[in-house]
Amino acid sequence: MNQVNILKSLPTESSFYSAIEKIGTQQRYRKSEIIYLQDDEANTFYLLKSGRVRLFFTSINGNELTLKILGAGKIFGDASYFSHTPRVTSASAITDVELLSVDLNSLLPYLTQHPNLIAELLDLMSQTIRLFSIQVYSMAFLSADKKVAHLLVQLGTYFKNKESDVSYSIDYTHQELAELIGIARVTTTKELKRLEERGWISLAYRHIQVLNETALKEYLLS
């Protein structure tokens, strides 16, 4: 089936994700493989189908700072692609991953037929900018204990079943959280245990249950 026929077969109310499912090119990467490097030319963007991907900065002397850890269903590489600029970050596979790569030439006919999806794309890109702004604020102004609490609250955006939920599960390791906020893992673990002692979270292997988001928010304002 050619591209025109594929587009005609898609439902009118199909989402931006559905477009990528139909048009994207499947790719697989093994654990620890690099998907793209900082400063590479951005020829495509991606939808992560399974596994985990780490987006990170690399300094001139080789130090790394994790910007984001992505799970299935997330889009990445879009900001550089649509701004026609080199990659701002590198991306690597934390686990074996399966993803779909997309270029504008294959996507544009679908966006033309479904212009409402342009707004969805802009919303996805604004979420990326929002997360980056939050991380910069946290790293610059908050103490270690509040950096941890702040990140748990912000991750609720991605892990809540409903926006009104005050309890939700985060399947990040202590190391992954530490990399996201730029502090040592041992410090992250210490602060998580303090929050657990207060009854606001519950810790398990590769899993954090936020029990009282309201208390975390109040703590950030104290």
pLDDT by residue (tens digit) across 150-185?
889 888 877 888 878 888 999 889 998 888 888 899
CB-based burial label for 148 (10 Å; 0-12, 13-18, 19+):
buried
Per-residue pLDDT, 10? 37
Low-confidence spans in the chain with pLDDT less than 50: 1-14
Q: Is the domain of 131 the same as that of 151?
A: no
Does one domain contain both 210 and 167?
yes
CB-CB contact of 67 with 132 (8 Å): yes
- Which pair of structure tokens corresponds to residue 62? 């080789």
pLDDT the model gives residue 7: 34
**Which amino acid is residue 82, in one-letter code?**
F
Backbone phi, psi, residue 50, to 5°: -155, 155
Q: What is the CATH number of the domain that holds 152?
A: 1.10.10.10
pLDDT of residue 90: 94
Residues 124, 151, single domain; the answer is: no
pLDDT on residue 6: 34
- Whether 20 and 105 map to the same domain: the answer is yes
Distance CA 68, CA 38 (A): 14
- 168 forms beta bridges with 210
Question: What is the pLDDT at residue 202?
Answer: 96
CATH of the domain at 51: 2.60.120.10
- Select from 100, 135, 170 the last residue of a domain: 135
Burial class (CB in 10 A: 0-12, 13-18, 19+), 216: buried
Measured distance CA(52)–CA(70) in Å, rounded: 5
Total Cβ atoms within 10 A of residue 59: 9
Query: Does one domain contain both 119 and 170?
Result: no
pLDDT at residue 215 in the model: 94
Specify whether the CB–CB gap between 66 and 30 falls below 8 A: no
Same domain, 127 and 158: no
Give the whole-angstrom CA distance, residue 94 versus residue 64. 15
What is the reported pLDDT for 135? 67
The answer on 122 and 154 residing in a single domain is no
Whose tokens are 């790569």? That residue is 101
The per-residue pLDDT for 8 is 37
Looking at 135, 163, 180, which one is the last position of a domain?
A: 135
Residue 18 and residue 69 share a domain: yes
169 and 131 assigned to the same domain: no
Residues 211 and 216: their CA atoms lie apart, in Å, by 9
* 109 shares a domain with 93: yes
Say if residue 163 is in the same domain as residue 183. yes
Query: Exposure pattern of 25-36 as b/e (b: 16+ CB <10 Å)?
Result: eeeebeeeeebb
Token digits of residue 195: 């929050």
Backbone angles phi, psi at 140, to 5 degrees: -85, -35
Domain boundary among 135, 160, 181: 135
Q: Which structural domain range is residue 42 located in?
A: 3-135
57 and 38 housed in the same domain: yes
Structural domains of the chain, count: 2
